[in-house]
Structure 1
Amino acid sequence: MGYLLRRLRGRHVLPFVLLLTVAGCKWVVLSPSGDIAAQQRDLLIISTVLMLLVIIPVLFLTVFFAWKYRQANREARYDPDWDHSTQLELVIWGAPLLIIIWLGALTWMGTHLLDPYRPIERIDSDTPVAAGTEPLEIEAVALDWKWLFIYPQYGVATVNEIAAPVDRPIRFRLTSSTVMNAFFIPALAGQIYAMPGMETKLHAVINEPGEFGGFSSNYSGAGYSGMKFEFHGVDSQAFDQWIAKVRGGEGTLDRAAYLELEKPSENAPVRYFGATDPSLFDDVVSMCVEPGKLCLRDIHGPHGSAQAAEAHGGEGHHSWAPPDALEYDKTTRRGGPMDAHGTNEAAMDHGSEEEH
């Protein structure tokens, strides 16, 4: 009896487990609700079908030749002197070449038309973006381990929740507070990275109302698995009501509130801020929210570090700013990892630099 159960588990239970696993999957990538994601879905399907035009015949012919020319088949034609067929060579080389050319053309067009930095030109396949339409701007900051969203046009901010009107273009501006992360709403558009000290962009549109999941798709530490948020696709009236609800939130997201919010936390709840500092996002990108920090935009301005040096009344390498103003490693400043002797490694490196 025990032997029979072991046989059943090995041969019959596994297919049912696989079937249940597949049945429980959400095929949101193949059934998106945004036009950009839909176009990316089409590229995925077309590319897969084109590759299967080669793969399926090869798999079929592998089985066919193995069966036809098996040792027991005495009626199979034996032709040891055959070594060339022009027609067969044309098929073997011509078909893959045409597929590669087709795939290359699709890739080139998709790379340019679906560039995340490129403003969208259509709401869907039948509706172009009307002239003069103002996109909804959302500034997204990847924190440890949560997402901060700022609506500069409305002066509000949220944590782990966003909303957007259906059929209105959206322009995301993204950055990170500490380490590289990735922003991904499968129903809306493809993922894009968010990096500290840099700004990336993503343009998209949601075409159907509903609640859609978003998450971090790049490992960023202990609380990475909890970096999830809800994206609400709503009509214009419901969006105005949502903005009004956010305006009744916790108060103003100023520099002090941001620095408190920035501290690492896992599985953070949804939070609303009824007002924001208009320059906060730009300061996050320039890594100078904290008092006394030199903004990267001043260091890397039109005239480089010379501009910053002149602004601070000094000359020479780093002579125009105190060392602390140029220290951007948040982990170190929060008492980061220590070496085997219990000394902060980054602090030792900093001290060595000062000696030189």
Structure 2
Amino acid sequence: MDNAAIDVEQFEGGAAQRLRLSGVWRNTTIDAVLGQLNDLRSDSHTRVEIDISGVSKLDTSGAWLIRRMQLAAAEHGDAKVVGGSEVMRELIAALPEQPEVPPPNLSNRSPVQLVLDPIGRFVIDIWHDVVAMSYVLGSAVRGAQSKEKRGRSASIASVVNQMDHMGVRAVPIILLMSFLIGAIIAQQGAFQLRYFGAEVFVVDLVGILQLREIGVLLTAIMVAGRSGSAITAEIGSMKMREEVDALKVIGLNPIGVLVLPRIIALVIALPLLTVIANFAALYGAAVVTWAYSGITFQVFLSRLHDAVDYTTLAAGLIKAPFMAIVISIVAAVEGMKVGGSAESLGHHVTASVVKSIFVVILMDGLFAMFYAAINF
């Protein structure tokens, strides 16, 4: 087997250079020219021709070495590969201009870099998510058609179908969870207030806490875990099967077709689920206070009427549509990030739930501070 060889020829008065390659350029034979290549890198010519007509056999390792020669020569002038078969030239041209960058060696980093690097990456990821969420929201509002001035609203059938999945089918678990939460809060509140002879004020505690904070917050968290993960999984699986690309091919906006009905359905369903959760929690609290403290249902309702008003109910319900929008958009963004593997799908479903719950809790805190600032 002939080893790889390079014959250097100068022309155009030394301004140009022709490299005639010959022999077998494979992984087992290219070691013979590595030293010569290092010497050639120090040369600078305005034009370099790499003639591969003498190369008898070529594999990826040899093609990559020739590609590196071409890129190194191109830094000083024009460099091109000539001669040889079309298959060889296509193999060389198909190689990337830059090799894959190996992961950084963390052992050489200072403690400050080790601390700041993940923080910086986290901030950049947050910014990318904000940009992606803005894009998804804008594309969803634009409508299903991909052309301007041809947008249309979401299909009513799609919205109703999503409301059935996200709202109606979530009622049983919301009822059970809220009933138990209301019962637990009432029992713990009555137990602590008993020492002060003020057990009746547990009604105030449960009513205000449930209607303003706990009702919408826990319902949104349940919806984020149940419906948010479903949105990510549905869109992600469509992305894996290239159905999203198919929508683009037929002239539809995938965000408008897939995301907008889910946003509308969740904006309608979450406030209704919050109302159901409030009723269930108050009923659970009434049952526990009757059994634990002897507070009758009539006394419970009378005290509840005095403790809460319409602003208390509105304070919780106002949050629901905003939380619904955030949950659906975060889920859609994570669904659009899914790659071609099942591992990627599982990773983004998990990220969707975690991010949605975090943003929901953050929004609840911001609303609480806003309500306090305006004395609402």
Question: TM-score band, normalised by the shorter chain?
Answer: under 0.3
RCO higher in structure (CA 8 A, sep ≥6): 2
Structure with the higher strand share, 1 or 2:
1
User: Between Structure 1 and Structure 2, whose CA radius of gyration is higher?
Assistant: 2
TM-score (norm 1): 0.24
Structure with the higher helix share, 1 or 2:
2
TM-score (norm 2): 0.23
